[in-house]
Structure 1
Amino acid sequence: MIQNQRTIKSEISLSGVGLHTGRKVTMTLKPAPVNHGYAFVRIDLEGQPIIPATVNYVVNTQRGTNLEKNGVVVNTSEHVLAAVYALEIDNILIEIDAPEPPIMDGSSQFFVEALEKVGIEEQDAPREEYIVKDIISYKDPESGSEIILMPSDEYQVTTMVDFGTKILGTQNASLDTLSDFKEEIAEARTFSFLHEIEMLLDNDLIKGGDLNNAIVYVDKDISETTTEKLKKIFNKESISVKPNGILDNLTLRWANEAARHKLLDVVGDLALVGTRFRGKIIANKPGHMVNTLFAKKLAKIIKTENRNKVPQFDLNEPPLMDIHKIMSILPHRPPFLLIDRILELTDSKVVGMKNVTMNEDFFVGHFPGAPVMPGVLQVEAMAQCGGILVLSTVPDPENYLTYFMKMDNVKFKQKVLPGDTLIFSCELITPIRRGICHMQAYAYSNNKLVAEAQLMAQIAKKN
């Protein structure tokens, strides 16, 4: 069953401090339009730059999953993204006035509560969901960490952690359905080992933590010097170790809270894939590095499959637009009108068709002994198809012309020969603004991808 995209009904703000910077930060969660996805906005910087929350912008995974675009960073993105993904929100804008979201209590529960407080609403556009059909895996040869994704009727996660320490031991956690995230996973807090805390303190890298937002497992004796540093950074008069091996002033919410938090991180990191997916994740010794490397692999697989996914239409059915309707919109005329039918048209996508016949004018001179449709004309045909999309946004398309502005990433995969039927699929990359259309275009024939390109064009009124 196809579901529609979702966003939140209104904006809501939370304030706190960043775990690693210690800086005060206000984060505002805002509704976003369809096909927007997840993105952060640094409102504290000039121009309020936007950093898309996709795996393409992951720059490092030290002490969290950190994003960067054009020198602008967002650190520790995973906890808020886990909440957004688990509540099945597709489009959201996350404004922050510092380099990282507030750590709150080290879990996702405050973010879940905030999102539920403002409410979630359905949008008028179908959601894209990748259905896992084959096992996909990634293993880090050095650490042995491994993530496996296999087919399942719904999104599920199982994590297994083993840090080789007596104090933590081996732990497992499972999420059987996303609807259980709030009760079973969201409250699981981040954790560290004492030796890691010492390193962070020595390098002045943990400033926003206290004993209420990070579980500290004591895996070694605490020296007097470390005790004094901990008392100062956590603003405590005394520091002691509880019988279960964690620093005091904090009670575990579950015996396997560490494994549950690792599961939370997996959900947040894999939200960076950029497409919702349905399958079961088994993560053995997960961490931000292996999570995001797997996310990159999955995103690439999804992109490749989508690119090669030929639109299916019954060509015996009447088209949405025939050649006469097309000529009432496009200014092109034979022999330079290169599309015959429009099969689908929405606010963001158009699908068109061309029958390539032997009597095409270009075959007279383009390898007449072995006729092949010129690649530049395939691009022109895709652009004309996109022209229908952009011209459909004005009430009088007959008074406009379309002009190329730019083409990128043009690739030709297969020859197009006389007798082929070309199917063109063009979809907006960004919303149409000021008559400028930026789209991803594909051309298919014989159930294969034959060409692709990113095209930008602008419509202008005739003189």
Structure 2
Amino acid sequence: MSKKQKTIQSEISLSGVGLHTGNNVTMTLKPAPINHGFAFVRVDLEGKPVIEARAEYVVNTQRGTNLEKNGVQIQTSEHVLAAAVGLDIDNLIIEINASEPPIMDGSSKFFVEAIEKAGIQEQNAQIEEYIVKEIISYKDEETGSEIILMPSDEYQITTMVDFGTKILGTQNATLDTISDFKTEISAARTFSFLHEIEMLLEKDLIKGGDLNNAIVYVDKELSDSTMQKLKSAFKKDKISVKPNGILDNLTLHWANEAARHKLLDVIGDLALVGMRIRGKVIANKPGHFVNTQFAKKLSKLIKLDKRNNVPQYDLNEPPLLDIHQIMDILPHRPPFLLIDRIIELSESHVVGMKNVTINEGFFVGHFPGAPVMPGVLQVEAMAQCGGILVLSTVPDPENYLTYFMKMDNVKFKQKVLPGDTLIFKCDLITPIRRGICHMQAYAYANGKLVAEAELMAQISKIK
């Protein structure tokens, strides 16, 4: 059964402090259009730069997953991203007036509550989901941390942690279905060991930390000097260690809360892949470094899979639009009408085809001894296919012309020869606005990707 993309119904704001900076932060969650994904917007900076939540922008994983694009940073992105994934959100704008979201209580609980309060809205576009068909893995040989992704009927995650300490030994946590995220995972708080806290204090970090937003496991003797530093840092008159080895009087939500928080982090970090995942994740000793390295690997595999995932269609079936119906929409005519059929058409994508024959006019002069379809005409054919998509949004397409505005990342992979059947697939990158169509286009022949391009065009009414 097909599923629709989702965003939130209305904007909602949260305020708090950044864990490491200690600065007051306001974060506003806003609805986003279809195929937008997750993106952070730094509203405190000139031009309000956007940092998309993508694995390629990960620059640092010390104490959180930190993103950077064009010199603009977002720190500790994982908790709010986990909340979005955990509530089945696909598209979300995250406006923030600082470099890191508010830490709140160190979990995703408050972000989940905010999203639910804003309301969840279904959108008129199908979800994009990566269906795992074979085992994919990544291992950090230095630490032994490993992530394995295997086929499954739905998105599942298991984390196994072993910190090698008496106070916090081996723990496991499992999420069998993402719909259980809210009740089983979202309230799991971040944690640290006492020796890490001392190091962070020495580096003048965790300025926003207190005993309400981080579980501190005491893995060493608490000296008087350390006690004084902690009292000052956490603004407490008295600090003690409970029998379960946790600093002060914090009560665990679950005995395996540490493993559950690691699971939360895995979800947030793998959100950087940029699409839903249908598969089972098994993470052994996960951390932000191995999580994001795996996300980068998976992103590359998905990109490669997209390029090589040749659409399969029964070309003997009647087309959605034949050549006569195409000419009712497009102003082009032979020899510059370069598509023969439209096979699929939705609000966000179009699939068309062309039979390349030896009697094409361009073969007369383009390497007549070894005829090859010119690359520029392959781009033109993809654009004409996209033209059907944009012209389908107006009631009188015969009164419009389509003009190129821009083309980027044009690549030609294989030669197109007489006798080839070209399949074109164009997907919107952003929704059509003011007659402007921004799309990713692919051309396939003989079971291979032959060309791709990012195209932008605009329709203009004939005067």
Equivalent residues of 1:192, 1:217 under 8 A apart: yes
Residues 122-164 of structure 1 deviation map (CA, whole Å, 9 limit, x = unaligned): 2221112111110000001111110000111221111111122
- The 5 Å alignment of 1:49-128 reads 49-128=49-128
Report how many residues are paired. 463
Following superposition, the deviation at residue 235 of structure 1 comes to 0.6
The one-letter amino acid paired with 1:62 is: Q
Residues 26-54 of structure 1 deviation map (CA, whole Å, 9 limit, x = unaligned): 22222222211111222222222222112
The one-letter amino acid paired with 2:143 is: S
| Corresponding residue number in structure 1 for 2:334 | 334
The one-letter amino acid paired with 1:194 is: L
For the residue of structure 2 that corresponds to 1:376, the secondary structure is helix
Equivalent residues of 1:29, 1:95 under 8 A apart: yes
The one-letter amino acid paired with 1:249 is: N
Following superposition, the deviation at residue 430 of structure 1 comes to 2.0
The one-letter amino acid paired with 2:199 is: M
Equivalent residues of 1:240, 1:248 under 8 A apart: yes
Task: Tell me, yes or no, if structure 1 residue 219 matches structure 2 residue 252.
Answer: no
Structure 2's unaligned 5+ residue stretches are: none
Following superposition, the deviation at residue 179 of structure 1 comes to 2.0
Residues 51-70 of structure 1 deviation map (CA, whole Å, 9 limit, x = unaligned): 21121222211111111222
Residues 91-111 of structure 1 deviation map (CA, whole Å, 9 limit, x = unaligned): 111222221111111111112
Distance 2:430 2:422 in 1: 25
Task: Tell me, yes or no, if structure 1 residue 446 matches structure 2 residue 440.
Answer: no
| Corresponding residue number in structure 2 for 1:307 | 307
Following superposition, the deviation at residue 319 of structure 1 comes to 2.1
Following superposition, the deviation at residue 186 of structure 1 comes to 1.2
Distance 2:455 2:5 in 1: 26
| Corresponding residue number in structure 1 for 2:8 | 8
Distance 2:401 2:39 in 1: 34
- The 5 Å alignment of 1:173-322 reads 173-322=173-322
Which runs of 4 or more aligned residues in structure 1 lie more than 6 Å from their structure 2 counterparts after TM superposition?
none
The one-letter amino acid paired with 2:397 is: P
For the residue of structure 2 that corresponds to 1:244, the secondary structure is coil
The one-letter amino acid paired with 1:32 is: A
Distance 1:208 1:171 in 2: 28
Following superposition, the deviation at residue 312 of structure 1 comes to 2.6
Distance 2:100 2:35 in 1: 24
| Corresponding residue number in structure 2 for 1:459 | 459
- The 5 Å alignment of 1:313-462 reads 313-462=313-462
Following superposition, the deviation at residue 462 of structure 1 comes to 4.1
For the residue of structure 2 that corresponds to 1:409, the secondary structure is strand
For the residue of structure 2 that corresponds to 1:292, the secondary structure is helix
The one-letter amino acid paired with 1:66 is: N
Residues 148-190 of structure 1 deviation map (CA, whole Å, 9 limit, x = unaligned): 0011122111111112222211111111111222222111110
Equivalent residues of 2:34, 2:430 under 8 A apart: no
Structure-2-length-normalised TM-score: 0.96
For the residue of structure 2 that corresponds to 1:76, the secondary structure is coil
Distance 1:319 1:256 in 2: 56
Equivalent residues of 1:212, 1:249 under 8 A apart: no
Distance 1:383 1:72 in 2: 34
For the residue of structure 1 that corresponds to 2:297, the secondary structure is helix
Residues 208-248 of structure 1 deviation map (CA, whole Å, 9 limit, x = unaligned): 11011101111222232222121111110112222222211
Equivalent residues of 2:125, 2:348 under 8 A apart: no
| Corresponding residue number in structure 1 for 2:44 | 44
| Corresponding residue number in structure 2 for 1:151 | 151
